[in-house]
A and B are shown apart, each in its own frame.
Chain A
Amino acid sequence: GENVEQHPSTLSVQEGDSAVIKCTYSDSASNYFPWYKQELGKRPQLIIDIRSNVGEKKDQRIAVTLNKTAKHFSLHITETQPEDSAVYFCAASTLPSGTYKYIFGTGTRLKVLA
C-alpha cells in the first residue's frame, strides 16, 4: 500500500544552524505534500506545503523541495531558533481529492539547542 518514509526520527541542531528533514513517498499519483509542526500537547499545524507542479517553495526561514522523479521531498529550516523545537510530520496526498486520504510520515523530533 501507499507509505511515506521520514528521516531522521530525531535531529538535534545548535541554534542558528540549519535543519533538513527528508521524506520519500511510494504512490506516484501523489501531488500534494504538506508539512506539519506539532508542539507537545498541541494540534498539528500546517507550516508549508508544495504541489507537484513546482520544485521548491520558500516561506521566510522554511523551504520545501520536491523531486518527483525520485519521489523525495524535504523540509529545510534555516537559522533555527529554540521555538522551532517540535515534532515535524510530512504527508502525501492527491488533490483534487477523491479519497481524501493523507499518508503521514513517522515524524521527526527536532531539538534546537540554545
Chain B
Amino acid sequence: DTEVTQTPKHLVMGMTNKKSLKCEQHMGHRAMYWYKQKAKKPPELMFVYSYEKLSINESVPSRFSPECPNSSLLNLHLHALQPEDSALYLCASSLPTNEQFFGPGTRLTVL
C-alpha cells in the first residue's frame, strides 16, 4: 500500500459541533503531519508526530486537537470551530530520509 488515505472527503459542521478527521497510512512511515490549506495558498503546517509523539505544534488554537493512536493512524479532533477554519485539511506522512506523501484531504466547511 503506497497511499495516504483520509476520511471524510467533505465535512460540514456548525460552530458548536465536535467532529474528527482521520488519516491512515501503511507505508511504515514514522512521521505524520497535519496541514491546513486555504485557496490559492501553500499548505500551512499545523502538527507533526514523530514516532507517535507530538514533535511540532505550530501554535495551533486548542479547538484543534491531534491524536496519534498508533504508527499508522492520525486523527484531528475539531471542537468549537470558527468559519475562518474552513479549508482543505491535508494529512501527510514520511520517513526521516525520504519525501513526504500527501493524502487527498478533507474539505471542511464551518457554518
- Residues of A at under 8 Å CB distance from B? 34, 36, 42-46, 49, 87, 89, 93, 95-97, 99-102, 104-107, 109
The residue that B102 contacts in the complex, of A43, A49, A101, with Cβ under 8 A, is A43
Question: Are B102 and A44 closer than 8 Å at their CB atoms?
Answer: yes
- A99 / chain B contacts, CB cutoff of 8 Å: 48, 55-56
Stretch from B11-19, B62-70, B92-100 contacting the other chain: B92-100
B43: Cβ under 8 A from any A Cβ: yes
**What is the bound-complex CA distance between A43 and B33, given in angstroms?**
14
B90 at the interface (CB under 8 A from A): yes
B73 at interface (Cβ–Cβ under 8 A)? no
Q: Is the CB of A100 within 8 A of B50?
A: yes
Query: What's the Cα separation between A95 and B33 when bound, in Å?
Result: 16
> Which of A34, A43, A45, A109 has the most C-beta atoms of chain B within 10 angstroms of its own C-beta?
A43
Question: For residue B33, which residues in chain A have a CB less than 8 angstroms away from its CB?
Answer: 100
- How far does the alpha carbon of A105 sit from the alpha carbon of B41 in the complex, in Å? 9
Q: How distant is the Cα of A101 from the Cα of B31 in the complex, in angstroms?
A: 10
CB-CB under 8 A from A44, the residues of chain B are 43, 90, 102
Residues of chain B from 24 to 57 with CB closer than 8 A to chain A in the complex:
31, 33, 40-43, 45, 48, 50, 55-56
Could you tell me if B98 and A95 are in contact, using CB atoms closer than 8 angstroms? yes
Q: How far is the CB of A85 from chain B (nearest CB, A)?
A: 15
Instruction: Indicate if the CB atoms of B48 and A101 lie closer than 8 Å.
Output: yes
The interface residues of chain B lying within 8 Å CB-to-CB of A89 are: 42-43
* A95: nearest chain-B partner, CB-CB: B97
Distance of A93 Cα from B96 Cα, bound (Å):
11
**Chain B residue at smallest Cβ distance from A45:** B102
Chain A positions within 8 Å of B45 at CB level: 101-102
Nearest Cβ on chain B to A58's Cβ, whole angstroms:
17
Report the minimal beta-carbon distance from B5 to chain A, rounded to whole angstroms.
11
